[in-house]
Amino acid sequence: MKLVIVGSVALDTLATPAGAVKRALGGAATHAAVAASFFTDKLGIVGVVGDDFPAAFPKLLRSRKIDLGGLSQVTGKTFHWKGRYEGDMAVAKTLHTELGVFAGFDPVLPAAYRSAPFVFCGNIVPEIQSKVLDQASRSSFKVLDTMNLWIATKKKALLNAIKRVDAVVLNDQEIRQLTGVHSLILAAKALLKAGPRFVLLKRGEHGASLISKNEYFHLPAFPTEKVRDPTGAGDSFAGGLIGSLTAAGRVDKGTLRRAMASGIVMSSFQVEDFSLWRTVKLKRPEIENRLKRLRAMTSF
Ligand code: AMP
């Protein structure tokens, strides 16, 4: 196993100006793992689902060669997120979050996962992220994502987890909320002092930035014309990024920049349809084509 992904595995009920879905396959770990699976097949998910989780969903994940040895199914309800996007769809409005079986989840990593070099702590209760970090102590590159809910309700536990990772992935609002600093660059610098070596800023239709002590790098979003559902954009960015790093096997300036491009391209496909409908249909040449076009539109 080379890449371990923890986070919500969810049923999503959501509406956007382009339509609506009920109890569709979603979750931070799901979106990240599917995106990463286009770059590596040595990955597994750590999470939990309830007995209401349709059998077709694990089947779909297995078809992407994602290992489910760390995904338990127990009696109870699967994590259920209800949300809505309006207008420019820049921000999701959460209508309801039902933690379900995640409420008492105590993750146990299968033996083969414990020496994985790459770990992605996708969005979920920070204590669960920390428990996974405890068990993946031999990992050399750990990335963490979160959201406004945990910044507001579990800041201390979240900062404890952030201290232990190499990179954090946040959007503009989240980093401002977490640090209390308005300037994004100063907010990123403040966060670098809290532990991680890299801050990855997701800026939606404006792309993504990488900030470290000595470096600032930015890529625009891939200009997709079709945006039907932004859910999972951030997770597929992170999944494409860590999947690409896993495939490269090392983290340096070049691999990080290429990984950001992979994340940008994966999220550009993700938003084109609801749930994972577009992403699971992707073919490798489509990804290569957008990577090439992104490179062409950013070099001068
Ligand atoms: P994003 O990439 O930020 O759009 O993440 C979307 C995914 O996050 C959805 O598929 C939801 O199931 C999941 N999600 C929403 N709220 C939470 C939460 N509080 N904790 C963990 N996952 C969540």
The closest of 147, 146, 102, 138 to 119, measured between CA atoms, is: 138
Instruction: Give distance in angstroms: CA of 54 to centre of ligand 1.
Output: 19
Distance separating alpha carbons of residues 211 and 197, to the nearest angstrom: 9
What is the rounded average pLDDT for all residues in the chain? 96
Give the pLDDT band (50/70/90) at residue 95: very high
Q: Which atom of ligand 1 is nearest to the CA of 232?
A: 2
Phi/psi of residue 161, each to 5°? -70, -40
**What percent of the chain is predicted at pLDDT more than 70?**
100
Q: Does the beta carbon of 81 lie inside 6 Å of ligand 1?
A: yes
| Ligand 1 atom 14 nearest Cα | 27
Distance separating alpha carbons of residues 82 and 60, to the nearest angstrom: 22
Query: What's the pLDDT at 300?
Result: 87
The closest of 254, 252, 256 to 264, measured between CA atoms, is: 256
Q: Does the beta carbon of 122 lie inside 6 Å of ligand 1?
A: no
Instruction: Give distance in angstroms: CA of 111 to centre of ligand 1.
Output: 27
pTM above 0.85, yes or no: yes
Distance separating alpha carbons of residues 3 and 241, to the nearest angstrom: 12
Distance separating alpha carbons of residues 169 and 134, to the nearest angstrom: 20
Joined tokens for residue 145: 């994502």
Give the tens place of pLDDT for each residue, 105-126.
999 999 999 999 999 999 999 9
Dump strand ranges (E) for the chain.
3-6, 10-16, 19-26, 43-49, 66-73, 79-84, 93-98, 118-121, 141-145, 167-171, 198-202, 208-211, 216-219
Coil/strand/helix, residue 217:
strand
| Ligand 1 atom 12 nearest Cα | 27
Give the tens place of pLDDT for each residue, 122-177.
999 999 999 999 999 889 999 999 999 999 999 999 999 999 999 999 999 999 99
Distance separating alpha carbons of residues 198 and 219, to the nearest angstrom: 15
Cα separation values, 51 from 14, 24, 54, 253, 276, Å: 21, 15, 8, 44, 21
Q: Does the beta carbon of 12 lie inside 6 Å of ligand 1?
A: yes
CB of 4 closer than 8 Å to CB of 43:
yes
- The distance in angstroms from the start CA to the end CA of the chain is 39
Instruction: Give distance in angstroms: CA of 275 to centre of ligand 1.
Output: 12
Q: Which of 48-52, 203-207, 258-262 has the lowest mean pLDDT?
A: 203-207
Distance separating alpha carbons of residues 108 and 15, to the nearest angstrom: 34
CB of 148 closer than 8 Å to CB of 31:
no
Distance separating alpha carbons of residues 70 and 31, to the nearest angstrom: 16
91 pLDDT above the threshold of 90: no
